[in-house]
Amino acid sequence: MSDVISLIDRLSRDRSLTVEEYEILISGFDPGAASYAASLASSVRSDYYGDEVFMRGLVEISNYCRNDCLYCGIRRSNRECVRYRLTPSEIVSCASTGYGLGFRTFVLQGGEDPYYTDDVMCHIISSIKSMYPDCAVTLSLGERSHESYSALFSAGADRYLLRHETASASHYAKLHPSAMNFENRMRCLQDLRDIGYQVGCGFMVGSPYQTPYDLAMDLKFIETFRPDMCGIGPFIPHKDTPFGSEPSGSCGLTCYLLSLIRMIYPPVLLPATTALGTIDPMGREKGLKAGANVVMPNLSPVGVRDKYTLYDNKICTGEEAAECVACLSSRIKNTGYRLVTDRGDIRKEKINGKV
Ligand code: SAH
């Protein structure tokens, strides 16, 4: 048996490897290893989630951003980006549309836009929660203070997504301007957990300068932090950024990493991301087969979708939300899974009762 296959077996048994072993797994990525990992990952996924796929309605509330991340199309320095922000009532109305389509989780994501003060956000969150008490509100608004995260949690926010982007401080420094730092990103994740949020981290696959060691550090971080959610997708260049001519990350390696993460922490909520669907027409289906169990269709008004461009060629910018759900639902059915109407909380126990 090859080293890689025996390491995959050990990972699926112990849920843990050393950083050096993770690095061997990543360097040893090939189609055989990937399909072996996918078969183990989809079996453990079904122990916790059966054939269910959870959906979250993504509302892209603003593309104004005070940050200047080198990879991101809505970075502050991008003068070509046509800026927009949604008003509180537009955001609540996206949630209403989504509720009618079966969404029970709304993800409010945006650049770090100072317009959305704690007062404005608390008003939006409490409006949605009072209209739809059976729904979860997830925020993805970047780095804020402990005090701000606490205020938003008290207003009713349930979950927070903040990708760590890379678990290696030196790699982090190559992807971000000096005004941002790895320690603050990690401080935010810890604050969010301490406050009581269900927390999501995550990273890009194939981002510039990334090595197998950096990805091994990401896996070790996930093993120790045990996030409720983990968003990973391929890096895709955006033409108006400093990384505009860098190559994209691959669908195959992203799916392999989804499988490894599923094995490391079986209950984790893992989205098959829009970036994965952008890099490969069947990317989201491949992600689900590799162990993902969440999809995040777009609920943003059609008029702003093509302005929230983190990377080039983003899919699903033209259709109304209802069309997106219908399309995704049939794609998921063809993959052998089932899109469900559910808040989609993490399940820490196997559904057949065994832990
Ligand atoms: N401002 C928020 C939301 C950022 S956008 C925050 O800081 O969390 C959500 C995610 O999109 C980012 O965390 C990043 O991982 C991803 N992203 C940004 N640019 C990308 C690119 N060029 N290719 C792929 N993913 C990208």
Report the C-alpha gap between 130 and 204 in whole angstroms.
35
Q: Is residue 127 part of a domain?
A: yes
Predicted pLDDT at 353 = 60
The dihedral built from the CA positions of residue 140, 141, 146 and 150, taken in this order, carries a sign that is negative
Q: Which atom of ligand 1 has the smallest separation from the CA of 109?
A: 3
- Candidate of 56, 67, 71 to mutate for ligand 1, largest count of ligand atoms within 8 Å of Cβ: 71
Q: Residues near 249 by Cβ (< 8 Å), separated by ≥ 6?
A: 204, 205, 206, 207, 233, 234, 235, 236, 279
pLDDT at 31 over 50: yes
pLDDT digits (tens, 9 = 90+) for 129-177: 999 999 999 999 999 999 999 999 999 999 999 999 999 999 999 999 9
Question: Is the CB of 308 within 6 Å of ligand 1?
Answer: no
Question: Is the CB of 103 within 6 Å of ligand 1?
Answer: no
Ligand 1 centroid–CA 352 distance in Å is 36
Q: Is residue 354 part of a domain?
A: no
- Closest residue to atom 11 of ligand 1, CA basis: 310
Domain membership of residue 237 as a residue range:
2-338
Place of tokens 């992600």: 287
Q: Is residue 122 part of a domain?
A: yes
Question: Is the CB of 162 within 6 Å of ligand 1?
Answer: yes
pLDDT digits (tens, 9 = 90+) for 3-14: 999 999 999 999
Report the C-alpha gap between 321 and 317 in whole angstroms.
10
Q: Is residue 260 part of a domain?
A: yes
Q: Is residue 352 part of a domain?
A: no
pTM, two decimal places:
0.98
pLDDT digits (tens, 9 = 90+) for 187-241: 999 999 999 999 999 999 999 999 999 999 999 999 999 999 999 999 999 999 9
User: What band does 319 get if pLDDT is binned at 50, 70 and 90?
Assistant: confident
Residue type, 165: E
- Closest residue to atom 18 of ligand 1, CA basis: 72
Q: Which atom of ligand 1 has the smallest separation from the CA of 275?
A: 24
Question: Is the CB of 109 within 6 Å of ligand 1?
Answer: yes
Question: Is the CB of 111 within 6 Å of ligand 1?
Answer: yes
Ligand 1 centroid–CA 72 distance in Å is 6
Cβ(199)–Cβ(229) under 8 Å? yes
Ligand 1 centroid–CA 100 distance in Å is 28
Q: Which of 194, 181, 224, 272 is nearest to 22 (CA)?
A: 224
Residue 106 φ/ψ, nearest 5 degrees: -120, 130
- Candidate of 76, 310, 312 to mutate for ligand 1, largest count of ligand atoms within 8 Å of Cβ: 310
CA 273 to chain centre: 7
Question: Is the CB of 290 within 6 Å of ligand 1?
Answer: no
Q: Is residue 209 part of a domain?
A: yes
Cβ(257)–Cβ(236) under 8 Å? no
- Closest residue to atom 7 of ligand 1, CA basis: 142
Report the C-alpha gap between 22 and 167 in whole angstroms.
14
pLDDT digits (tens, 9 = 90+) for 233-287: 999 999 999 999 999 999 999 999 999 999 999 999 999 999 999 999 999 999 9
pLDDT digits (tens, 9 = 90+) for 85-127: 999 999 999 999 999 999 999 999 999 999 999 999 999 999 9
Q: Is residue 350 part of a domain?
A: no
pLDDT at 19 over 70: yes
Q: Is residue 343 part of a domain?
A: no
Q: Which atom of ligand 1 has the smallest separation from the CA of 237?
A: 22
CATH number for the domain spanning 92: value is 3.20.20.70
Torsion of CA 59, 62, 66, 69, to 10 degrees: 50
Cβ(267)–Cβ(348) under 8 Å? yes
Number of domains composing the chain: 1
- Measured N-to-C along each axis, helices 118-131 and 146-154 cross at an angle, to the nearest 10 degrees, of 20
Report the C-alpha gap between 187 and 178 in whole angstroms.
17
Place of tokens 């699903």: 316
